[in-house]
Amino acid sequence: MTRITAPESIDWNRVRADFPLLQRQVHGKPLVYFDSANTGQKPASVIEAVDDHYRRHNANVSRAVHTLGSEATEAYESTRQRLAKHLNVASEELVLTSGTTFALNLVAYSYALPRLSAGDVVLLTRMEHHANIVPWQLACERTGATIRVAELHPDGSLDMDALHAAMTPEVKILGIAHVSNVLGTINPVAAICREARKRGIVTVVDGSQALPHMAVDIAAIGCDFYAFTGHKMCGPTGTGALWARRELLASMPPFLGGGEMIKEVRYDGTVFADPPHRFEAGTPNVAGHVGLGAAVAYLDALGMDAVSAREATLLAHLTEEMGKIDGLRIIGTAKEKAAVVSFLVEGAHAHDLATLLDLEGVAVRSGHHCAHPLMAFFGVPATCRASLAFYNTHDEIEAFAAALRKVRGLLG
């Protein structure tokens, strides 16, 4: 694994070599993987950590005093501790989950359902992923609360005046993306949470697209809940976590019932475990979270400031090259952006573009990106999305631009 502390000294070609999948070909051409917003690629250290767990330490956690059980538990809990340090929070405030979707549903069902009632409002923004919309719809349907939407500027940035105006006394919960998965827009979540706190509004931040791109200090953000997924930050799929203020976790009933989340079970009643284990019923994805711990270690070794700087350089180059292509429209041009670019080419459907780019070895995402309301805001059914990571290269950007010109020519 690459371990370099000075950003200016990082050999990014050496870093790229840590990712085995990036060496393959697709349709006889070198792979250009521009779909990291969907899932990030995994360095060898993560793959090896998962493999080593299954080969040498495989056992369930917290259910055995034998050596393998102790090793599995220690490895699993060490990921919680590593994540806590990475995010500047206490480990007992981190619930390990299958990802952001589970984490947000946990908040909606365990925190919101017992508290919302008719007349209450859940405030969301136009750029939210479906995972930060649908759970709130379900909670509102069961409680009589309603959803209010804060709109955007045409460049894809959040209309802060409109958001503040929407923070009326009826609003009990604000759900907001730290970074838009479609536009790349980086929202000023610390300032937003500060305003919400003044009004007694509980804040729920979707951090899925933030953690892969930047250093995240949850304590500095000042939110009440922060959800994220592991597979976008070089970890295995089926991993992630929910951070919540300790006092909120302590006040919440379990989301799921079963093994591991109890102190004592009797037919006349059950005593639940303390948070965070209260919310971790059943057998967890032990090997996946061991891999997530390795992913966090990898990112920490690189340094998230170095990752951000690298991706900013790549994004500037990508945006410049795309700007040279006639008929190409970039959707989302906010000043503060992560390395995510949604686009359309005049006269071409997003799916056709993505299909033909794949024949050139280029992997981009096409569709609504689990953001139907955002697509409606821009008046399009779908977009193509090119999303970068620190392991991408300037040569790949040139190859992508060349492939895009070729595809545009094929489509007339």
Enumerate the active-site residues.
370
- The CB-side HSE value for 11 (13 A sphere, CA atoms) comes to 7
Which element (helix H / strand E) includes 63?
Answer: none
Q: Which long-range contacts (CB under 8 A, 24 or more apart) does 313-321 make?
A: 314/339, 314/388, 314/390, 314/392, 314/393, 314/394, 314/397, 315/184, 315/339, 315/341, 315/388, 317/394, 317/397, 318/386, 318/388, 318/397, 318/400, 321/397, 321/398, 321/400, 321/401
Spatial separation of the C-alpha atoms in residues 271 and 261, rounded to whole Å: 9
CA distances (Å), origin 68, targets 16, 37, 287: 34, 35, 13
How many other CB atoms sit within 10 Å of the CB of residue 251? 14
Q: Which long-range contacts (CB under 8 A, 24 or more apart) does 169-172 make?
A: 169/199, 170/119, 170/120, 170/121, 171/120, 171/121, 171/122, 171/123, 171/199, 171/201, 172/112, 172/115, 172/116, 172/120, 172/121, 172/122, 172/145, 172/201, 172/202
Do residues 316 and 74 lie in contact, with contact meaning Cβ atoms separated by under 8 Å? no
Residue 343 three-state SS: strand
The structure tokens listed for 191 are 């300032």
Spatial separation of the C-alpha atoms in residues 242 and 20, rounded to whole Å: 30
Closest by alpha carbon to 86, among 298, 280, 284? 298
Closest by alpha carbon to 205, among 181, 230, 182, 179? 179
The structure tokens listed for 87 are 């995010």
